[in-house]
Amino acid sequence: MSYKIILLKFLFKFYLFEINITNSIMNLVSAEKSRLGSTPPSCHNKCNQCHPCMAVQVPAPPRPLRATRFDPSSPGNNYSNYKPLSWKCRCNNHLYNP
């Protein structure tokens, strides 16, 4: 066997190995992306025999304000648009913990 054929076989095996690793990485990335965000909980038997019991997103209760000293040089933004949400189970305008 000539060295060119041996080299071609080696390169082909390396290429297939590289494709296998690339596919594995792509599968891991897609699995991570599918877990992003929040998924609704199961509300089966969570509403004390009330039907239909459905998962809904509601605003999280506000945290109590704590006294802080005003610092005009602070770069913090006190006016954020961030509004956290949480999941609850709802039936007939009553909310239940999932």
pLDDT single digits (tens) 55-95 = 999 988 777 766 666 666 666 656 667 778 889 999 999 99
Mean pLDDT along residues 39-56: 91
Tell me the C-alpha distance between 43 and 3, whole Å. Answer: 66
Q: What angle do CA 52, 86, 54 make, to 5 degrees?
A: 10
Please state, for a pLDDT cut of 90, what percent of the chain lies above it. 22
Residue 8's pLDDT is: 74
Query: Would you say 43 and 83 are in contact if contact means Cβ atoms under 8 Å apart?
Result: no
Residue 96's pLDDT is: 93
Terminal CA-to-CA distance of the chain, rounded, Å? 68
Residue 84's pLDDT is: 82
pTM score, whole prediction: 0.47
With b meaning 16 or more CB within 10 Å and e meaning fewer, what string describes 35-63?
Answer: eeeeeeeebeebbeeeeebeeeeeeeeee
Task: Report the mean per-residue pLDDT for the chain.
Answer: 76
- Helix (H) / strand (E) containing 58: strand 54-59
